[in-house]
Structure 1
Amino acid sequence: MLYRYSRLALGRLAVFVFPCLIAAPLAALAADEFPVSAAQMQSLGVQVQRLEKSGDSSGQAYSARVVLAPGQEQIASAPLAGVVDQLLVAENDAVKAGQPLMRLISPELGELQLKLMEVNSSSRLSQKALQRERQLFSEGIIPERRVQEAEATAAQDAARKRQAEAALRLAGLDSGRIRSIAEGGNVESTITVRAKAAGLVGDVSVKPGQRVQQADMLLRISNLSKLGLEIQIPSARNAQMATVKGAPITVMGRTGVQGEALSVSPMVSDNQVLTLKAAITKGAEQLRPGEVVQVQVPFAGANEGWSVPLQSVVRQGDKAYVFVRTDKGFVATPVTVLASARQTMRVRGGLQVGQEIATASVIALKAAWQGKGGSN
């Protein structure tokens, strides 16, 4: 009797347990699908859009910042300690190479000029002494040692003269003025700071009457004829970055502006993006350093994925989803974001041509999905 009862109990338990085990994975698979009727869609204002394959071959769109190309910026610094006497340019002024920028009054300049006069005089005397010693040696009056000592003295004086000339050249004096000072000409009281290359003046950091030390920054000059781009690429594209080098870059909304991809940063930023550097090869006059533009980068397989409205993609944790219309309602379909530009995104996932995705009132659908027990 006990045996028959046990068999009956086990049979009833199996009838209850096995359907539950079968239903469990089915419930998990269907957890991201939830019912929404046509009336509910109309009440919530849900709108859908049909998926179409993009035929755009120009590349993905990404944000980029316009920057100066390497070597296109110069700093005008104080050659000697002194006082700013006069500013000859203002910010945003265009200057040419060699154009005066400002004048400085420096006591050190007088000391350098006096030193040049002294060493030039010593050098002349040592050269005359060397000629005399050589003449006496040729007549057999003095030993050769005297000639060698005179040669050493003349060489030392010539080296000191070259050093004094170099110091004045670094201070901003030209070669003609240096020769005049060496011969006893008038002593300069001011230093004229000049532009080394053409460009646009910016960041003037001094005022007349201000005291500066040697090597202090006075102003900055930028050459805007050569610009570059720093393009922000999602790290998901890391495997394709090697195919981009040398590829043409198109600046969207700027007719005739083109660039060329150069290199990619080895590090990923905190925002999980890579920085692709590019040079502007045409139309740089339409851009300004610091502005943010949209560019197209032609990765290999640029047409992969789907172009969807920005508002159609929702986030749940670290994953992205779109809501695909089904016979019963919607299903939350996971996608990978490949690019984002303006009001569109390019995503990759289990989507098909002809499917419809929600593009309006997506937040309401997300609430309904989570209430159903969607992915967490």
Structure 2
Amino acid sequence: MNKKLLILLLSSLYSTTPLLAAEVAKPKAADEVVLAADSPQLANLKIEAVTQIPAPASSPFNGKIVFNENFTARISSPVVGRALRINAEIGDTVKSGQVLMTMDSPDLGSAIADARKAQAELQLKKQAYERSRMLLDGGVIPHKELEASKADLDEAAAESSRASARLNNLGASRNTNESYSVRAPLAGIIVDRQVNPGSEVRPDAATPIFIITDPLHLWASIDLPERDLGKVNPGQSVSVEVDAYPGEAFSGKILSIGAMIDPVTRRIPIRCSVDSKGGRLKPEMYARITPLSPGNRQVIRIPNSALITEGLYSYVFVETSPGHIKKRRVTLDVQGKDFATVKQGLSNNEKLVTSGAILLNSELAAGK
């Protein structure tokens, strides 16, 4: 009886061994984290597909967005006066020739009076010349008196022309009063105003009373350190990033490199064109400007939050399949303040853990 019982026990043991082997999960790799679909750890991870960008030629340089002077007007009054009415506010869109401000100007009154006086003097000299010519034809006066009359006429004509040119320069005529209108010389947006009703306005004021610019045309400016001068060239493409739009790059191109280095700061000014994408960029924004490598070479850009540094090497976590996240070594190209570019170790459109990599690395370390 005991022998039969022993046989039954042994047969039961051997029959269940394949089942137990099938139920045991295949051990995971040492550099892999496996998470179930309902794992709460997944909520702490941010997984995104990586994308390629043009390869940078150097680390980003600090710069800022500035006015494009070819599409900017700094307006001052050519005459002394007092502001009566302001017709434009900061942020207003104006057209070329639109009245921005009306002012009362004694200087304009003097210019109008001079023009009227010069015109009246010209008419008088014309009559005198015609009379002298008639008298010369009748033999009443000598020829030299006609010449003197002609000289007076020419002098009056010159004075009248000068006075008229002065009025034309002011945008006025002899029939206007002392009310002077300051007009916009080009279309754009009012970005600054330094005048209020009742303010005194002078041509020699330290600041312009209005600044108008076209927001679709801007420059990006770099004060380049002397040691980096060899990294940039006219016509080189650049990538411009600002804090207002994290992760977004604006394309541009180097227009000019300064002719000399500032002897105090040892920096040289670089001016770049930039596509503001419909006016999204604003003058005086701080920017990070990255010169790009020629030849349209592409690299993969990842946020620094996705990187794990261990000794001399850098690692990232890549989702190879749903719930399976593998640690992988990468070779960096350039690392900046917020982003780095990868030379080797990643392919385009691979899914990368961009937030939570430190937690995964701790999970791997705890499992060793």
Q: Do they fold alike, i.e. is TM over 0.5?
A: yes
State the match for 1:258 in structure 2: 251
Matched, 1:170 2:169: yes
Q: How does 1:288-327 map to 2 (within 5 A)?
A: 288-299=282-293, 323-324=311-312
Partner of 1:285: 279
Check conservation: 2:302, 2:339, Cα contact below 8 A: yes
Q: Does structure 1 conserve the Cα–Cα contact (< 8 Å) formed by 2:239 and 2:292?
A: no
Structure 1 residue runs without a partner (length 5+): 1-54, 182-186, 312-321, 326-337, 354-358, 361-376
What is the aligned residue count? 270
SS at match of 1:286: coil
2:131 alignment partner in structure 1: 132
Q: What is the CA distance between 1:248 and its match in structure 2?
A: 2.5
In the alignment, the residues of structure 2 paired with residue 249 and residue 149 of structure 1 have an alpha-carbon distance, to the nearest angstrom, of 70
Q: Which residue does the alignment assign to 1:43?
A: none
TM-score, normalising length from structure 2?
Answer: 0.60
Distance 1:284 1:292, change over 3 A: farther
194, 198, 201: which one aligns with 1:205 = 194
- Structure 1 contact 234–273 (Cα < 8 Å) conserved: yes
Distance 1:271 1:87 in 2: 42
Partners of 1:340 and 1:269 lie apart in 2 by 30
Partner AA of 2:189 in structure 1: L
**SS of match in other structure, 2:122:** helix
Separation in 2, partners of 1:221, 1:307: 38
Q: Is the contact made by 1:257 and 1:284 (CA closer than 8 Å) also made in structure 2?
A: no
User: In the alignment, is residue 69 of structure 1 matched against residue 58 of structure 2?
Assistant: no
* Aligned residue in 1 for 2:212: 221
Deviation at 1:72, TM superposition (A): 2.5
CA distance in 1, matches of 2:287, 2:66: 11
Query: Which deviates more from structure 2 when the two are superposed, residues 153-162 or residues 132-141?
Result: 132-141
Q: What's the secondary structure of 1:141's corresponding residue?
A: coil
Structure 2 spans left out of the alignment, 5+ residues: 1-51, 314-332, 346-356, 359-368
Contact 1:258 1:283 in 2 (8 A): no
Deviation at 1:160, TM superposition (A): 1.3
Deviations 1:272-326 (A, max 9, x none): 76543211357352321112334442245998xx999979xxxxxxxxxx9537x
SS in 2 for 1:71: helix
Which letter does structure 1 place at the counterpart of 2:197? Answer: P
| Distance of 1:74 and 1:309 partners within structure 2 | 40
Distance 1:250 1:189, change over 3 A: same
TM (norm. structure 1) is 0.59
Provide closer, same or farther for how the CA distance between residues 292 and 142 of structure 1 changes in structure 2, counting only shifts above 3 A.
same
Structure 2 counterpart SS, 1:78: coil
Letter in 2 for 1:131: E
Amino acid at match of 2:257: V
Q: Which residue of 1 aligns with 2:238?
A: 249
Q: Give the root-mean-square deviation of aligned CA atoms.
A: 4.2
Contact (CA 8 Å) 1:256, 1:283: kept in 2 or not? no
1:120 aligns with 2:119: yes
Match of 1:85, SS state, is strand
Give the fraction of aligned pairs with identical amino acids, expressed as a percent.
Answer: 21
Aligned in 2, Cα 1:141/1:256: closer, same or farther, shift over 3 Å? farther
Tell me, yes or no, if the aligned pair for 1:259 and 1:281 is still in contact at 8 Å.
yes
**Farther off after superposition, 245-254 or 209-218:** 245-254
Paired residues of 1:257 and 1:286 also in contact (CA < 8 A): no
- Pick from 339, 342, 355 the counterpart of residue 337 of structure 2: 342
Q: Which amino acid aligns with 1:227?
A: L
1:70 positional shift: 2.4
Instruction: Look up the SS of the partner of 1:285 in the other structure.
Output: coil
Deviation at 1:69, TM superposition (A): 1.5
What is the match of residue 102 of structure 2? 103
Question: How far apart, CA to CA, are the structure 1 residues paired with 2:73 and 2:123?
Answer: 39
How many Å separate the matches in 2 of 1:284 and 1:342? 27
Compared with structure 1, are the counterparts of its residues 150 and 165 closer, same or farther at alpha carbon in structure 2 (3 Å cutoff)?
same
Residue pair 1:259, 1:282 contacting (<8 A) in 2 also: no
- Whether the 8 Å contact between 1:74 and 1:222 is mirrored in structure 2 is yes
TM-aligned CA deviation for residue 169 of structure 1: 2.7
